[in-house]
Amino acid sequence: MSSTTPESRAFPARTPAFTSRLPNVGTTIFTVMSALAQQRGAVNLGQGFPDFDADPALLDAVSAPLHGGLNQYAPMAGIPELREAVARKVADCYGRSYDPGREITITAGATQAILTAVLAFVHPGDEVIVLDPCYDSYDPAVTMAGGVPVHVKLAAGTFAPDFDAIAAALSPRTRAIVVNSPHNPSGTVWSAADMQRLEDLLAPTDVLVISDEVYEHMVYDGAAHQSVARFAGLAERSVLISSFGKTYHVTGWKIGYAVAPAALMDEFRKVHQFNVFCVNTPMQHGLARYMAEPRHHLELPAFYQHKRDLFRAGLARTRLVPLPSAGTYFQCVDYRAVSDLDEVAFCRWLTEHIGVAAIPLAPFYADAFEQQIVRLCFAKRDETLQLALDRLAAL
């Protein structure tokens, strides 16, 4: 019998060395600012989630399948009823028919759908055009696929697409472009002319479009959301991604969907089945029942426009200058009249001394571009917004 003890072994236990796939990724600014807001008792207008609950009718719609035995694996692509509901909504809103059996997949939120789309189509060395400022998952998704993110800035101040710069970034190695409208963080909405310009630009290429449309039902002042589904030349080369969590105030459910032509969706599902396989079953049944009443998404623009207008009116009491907010539930403000601090430092100061948490725009850029602009979220109860505005009035 060996007398060797753990203390006498020649090689002590250790964690093996490894190489990070994402060596430049650390704690996100959202986590940092939310933690600071909680520590300081600040009104958190930084992270983009509502502080109000979902419609009780939706919660009831989920409760029935929870107690009705619908708690096992769903079909890999999603339950047929929910895929059919998505197909009806897309056809009604954008005039394009997708086959719910072959061309729609229910995903574990939009972030998973974005990663799945990138992993499905981007190979090592492929280039993917990303428009800055951009949501923070795009670049890491491309990197994990072995692709090369090619960052192109939206126009400073207006955040409109710079099609000359996009055209210059296209190369024989370009595999895809990621488009986001309504746009996080700026609140800018692409026009029909913008989408047609993109359609014309990509027509002679084999470049795919990954279209992040999670704020599709938050477009204001009577404007219409210009989905890739409206444009034949884009629809045939696009994976359209959206989010039930954003639309129905249930971000913690992490359920979204992807829509694409069958040839693209076949490839998307190959990755999806090994990435997550399937999505929360009772929530899918509840959402399918809830979507039978279209007003739940059709009334959303008016709901959030009220909050946007209330918030913008209150900002008039401050020295913050609001930029246009045509969509999403974000309001960007220029703070140059208040401070010459950089954006991260200003957000810390605002949280610690004024009691309102915001998010800097610089981390949304690959090069940390500074403009003295920060983002505030108005997806909050009216009383929460009023409290934040009362504190911001001190500026």
Give the separation between CA 362 and CA 89, rounded to whole angstroms.
36
Give the separation between CA 344 and CA 346, rounded to whole angstroms.
5
Residue 147, pLDDT > 60, answer yes
Residue 3, pLDDT > 80, answer no
- On average, the pLDDT of the chain sits at 96
Residue 284, pLDDT > 80, answer yes
List 151's β-bridge partners, or say none.
130
The predicted-structure confidence for 15-42, as pLDDT tens digits, reads as follows 999 999 999 888 888 888 889 988 999 9
List 148's β-bridge partners, or say none.
127
Q: Please say whether the beta carbons of 258 and 78 come within 8 A.
A: no
List 21's β-bridge partners, or say none.
none
Give the separation between CA 51 and CA 211, rounded to whole angstroms.
27
Which residue is it, tokens 């300081």? 40
Confidence bin at 366 (pLDDT 50/70/90): very high
- Residue type for position 113: A
pLDDT at 1 (0 to 100): 53
* Closest CA relative to residue 45, chosen from 386, 288, 395: 386
Is the entire prediction scored with pTM above 0.85? yes
Give the separation between CA 115 and CA 22, rounded to whole angstroms.
14
The predicted-structure confidence for 55-93, as pLDDT tens digits, reads as follows 999 999 999 999 999 999 999 999 999 999 999 999 999
- Helix, strand or coil, per DSSP, at residue 35: helix
Its sign, for the CA torsion 137, 143, 146, 149, is positive
pLDDT at 381 (0 to 100): 98
pLDDT at 25 (0 to 100): 86
- Helix, strand or coil, per DSSP, at residue 282: helix
- Helix, strand or coil, per DSSP, at residue 168: helix
Q: Which residues make up the CATH 3.90.1150.10 domain(s) of the chain?
A: 29-49+299-392
Residue 6, pLDDT > 70, answer no
Q: Which residues make up the CATH 3.40.640.10 domain(s) of the chain?
A: 58-293
pLDDT at 224 (0 to 100): 97
pLDDT at 133 (0 to 100): 97
Its sign, for the CA torsion 287, 291, 297, 303, is negative
* Closest CA relative to residue 307, chosen from 112, 80, 45: 45
**For the chain, how big is the Rg over CA atoms in Å?**
22
Give the separation between CA 126 and CA 121, rounded to whole angstroms.
9
CATH architecture of 58-293: 3-Layer(aba) Sandwich (3.40)
Superfamily for domain range 29-49+299-392: Aspartate Aminotransferase, domain 1 (3.90.1150.10)
Give the separation between CA 356 and CA 318, rounded to whole angstroms.
13
Tokens of 176: 């895809």
pLDDT at 87 (0 to 100): 98
Nearest 5°: CA angle at 87, between 85 and 92? 95
The predicted-structure confidence for 335-355, as pLDDT tens digits, reads as follows 999 999 999 999 999 999 999
The predicted-structure confidence for 215-271, as pLDDT tens digits, reads as follows 999 999 999 999 999 999 999 999 999 999 999 999 999 999 999 999 999 999 999
pLDDT at 12 (0 to 100): 86
* Closest CA relative to residue 213, chosen from 247, 236, 186: 247
Mean pLDDT of 120-146: 97
Higher-confidence residue of 208 and 33: namely 208
pLDDT at 4 (0 to 100): 56
pLDDT at 359 (0 to 100): 96
Give the separation between CA 364 and CA 159, rounded to whole angstroms.
12
| Beta strands 127-132; 359-360: pairing state | unpaired
Q: Please say whether the beta carbons of 187 and 330 come within 8 A.
A: yes
Give the separation between CA 52 and CA 165, rounded to whole angstroms.
40
